[in-house]
Amino acid sequence: MRKSLSSASKAQLVAAAMVSRATSVTLRQGSGCGQSRPPENRIIINVGGVRFETYKSTLQNIPDTRLAWLAEATSVNSADFDPDTGEYFFDRHSGVFAMILNYYRTGRLHTPMDICGPMFEEELAYWGIDEKQMESCCWTTYRTHRDAQETLAELNGGELSDDGEEDAPGDTARRFGIEEAAGPELGSGSGRGSGRCSRSRVPALAGPASLKTDHIKTDNLKTDHLRNDHIKTDHLKTPDLQALATVSVLFILASIIALVVETLPEARIPRPGAGAMNCSRLMVSDCLRYTQPRPAVHAVDITVTAYFALELAARLVFCPSKPEFFKSALNWIDLVAVATACVSFAVPPESAVIVHQILKVPRILRIFKLTRHFSGLKILVHTMKASSRELTLLGTVFAIFVILCGTAIFICEQFVESPVNEFRTIPIGFWWALVTMTTLGYGDMVPRTLPGYIVGASAPSAASWSSPCQCQSLSTTSPCTTRTPRPG
């Protein structure tokens, strides 16, 4: 009896052991399928179906961001946390997230080459990463689309960029290459790990609850901005505005033509009481003092002035922002041209000929108003503005050669005492160097010594050597002259 009981007990123990072993195998298999929770110091993030596992301390390297909040103890209460799998799920682009997670690991933010700039910008805003932490090697690729948008916005009306930011006070000096941006340089180790961005710039960082819908608001804002730009563009293409632009161009041309024609002797008649005279035999000042433009030319001048005065008043009245109106250089050209024209009509020309002619100079500046109506001129102005650093460098190099050659020719020509020495002062040498380096060659001053001949041959050679090098930089944008982000 005892033997049978002991045999039964042994059988039960064996069966229990087998059940326990099967249970442990099942648990191990479930653990292999990702059903078990990660250790306390690690976190699993599922982005678009791709699982990423990292340490919580890694996410805390960039504080005040969406991923940094996941490392907090209260993050398990987030709507993104799945208690069954122990994972945080985000329906975002997994390829971009790999670069963002690598930023937390290495402290260096790079742009994926297969992702466009606007998409990466949206992902950075969603995860709360400051774009100014971008590495300099990737900044050009990242900014390509935004720079193109800003250029088109400027050509279409000089609007601000999408983010509404204006240049900082030091940007103008940096644009001309006078001074470089202060602070830690991009790509250096200083300032790393501080990728936090201000909550005013990225409202998505208000808290975990509001982070889920902020990217929808961003998309709506971008859609509204594009729709408004489309409406503005269509509005500018209406037949009425095109006809008004054509009339404005015709009046600009009429103003310039009238200013030019009234200086011709054939377009002037003697003033009352001056008698018959021939302007070709008189000095210019006497011709202007004793003659006046023909009535037809004078009528065109008055009509053009009245039109621009009416146009200026209408734009000033209907302008929504008066300070912005007076910030425009073209508006100031209109204002000065109209004011000086009115003064010139009131002042008799015979009383002050020089003053009367000076008052007509601002009218020729109306030619700059053509940039409002021709996209090609807008592109030219934008190109000059974008190449301001290279143009400043070109002018600086040219001025250096003028100073060197002008001083050298003055010294060299003093070796021989001659009454025909034209280089009596260094400023005269500057004039000769400027004329020679620009290949004008008036011939009014020439060197007469052997050292002077050497300097005279070196001046145009230096200009020919330096100008192509600088012009090449105008057509090729190098990473050294690319605008880099200011340190946050």
**pLDDT tens per residue, range 254-273:** 989 988 888 887 888 877 76
Q: How far is CA 28 from the centre of its chain?
A: 59
Q: Burial, 77: exposed, middle or buried (Cβ in 10 Å; 0-12, 13-18, 19+)?
A: exposed
Task: Say which residue, 322 or 150, is predicted with more confidence.
Answer: 322
Contacts of 350 (CB under 8 A, 6+ apart): 271, 289, 290
pLDDT reported for residue 97: 92
d(CA 407, CA 413): 10
Amino acid at 238: T
Does the pLDDT at position 200 exceed 70? no
**Alpha-carbon Rg of the chain, whole angstroms?**
38
CB atoms within 10 A of CB 268: 20
Contact between 116 and 87 under an 8 Å Cβ cutoff? The reply is: no
pTM equals 0.49
The average pLDDT across 119-135 equals 88
Unique residue bearing structure tokens 């190099």: 397
Q: For residue 337, which amino acid is it? A: A
Q: Which residues pair with 53 in a beta bridge?
A: 44
Residue/partner pairs of 117-122 with CB below 8 Å, 24 or more apart = 117/141, 117/142, 117/143, 117/144, 117/145, 117/146, 118/145, 118/146, 119/93, 120/96, 121/146, 122/215, 122/218, 122/219
Q: Per residue in 375-410, pLDDT tens?
A: 777 777 777 887 788 888 888 888 999 999 999 999
Would the pLDDT of 327 be above 70?
Answer: yes
pLDDT of residue 89: 92
**Distances in whole angstroms, Cα of residue 368 to Cα of each of 14, 72, 154:** 100, 60, 16
Between the CA of residue 424 and those of 163, 315, 406, what are the distances in Å?
58, 55, 11
Residue 37: DSSP 8-state: P
Which pLDDT score, from 0 to 100, does residue 420 have? 73
Tell me: pLDDT of 322 over 70: yes
pLDDT tens-digit series, residues 1-44: 444 445 555 555 445 444 444 433 333 334 444 445 567 788 99
pLDDT score at 14: 47
What pLDDT score does 421 carry? 78
pLDDT 10s digits, 176-191:
444 444 343 433 343 4
Please give the Cα distance from 305 to 117 (Å, whole number).
49
> According to the model, what pLDDT value does residue 114 have?
82
Terminal CA-CA length for the chain: 88
**pLDDT band at residue 112 using 50, 70 and 90 as cut-offs:** confident
Average pLDDT, the chain: 72
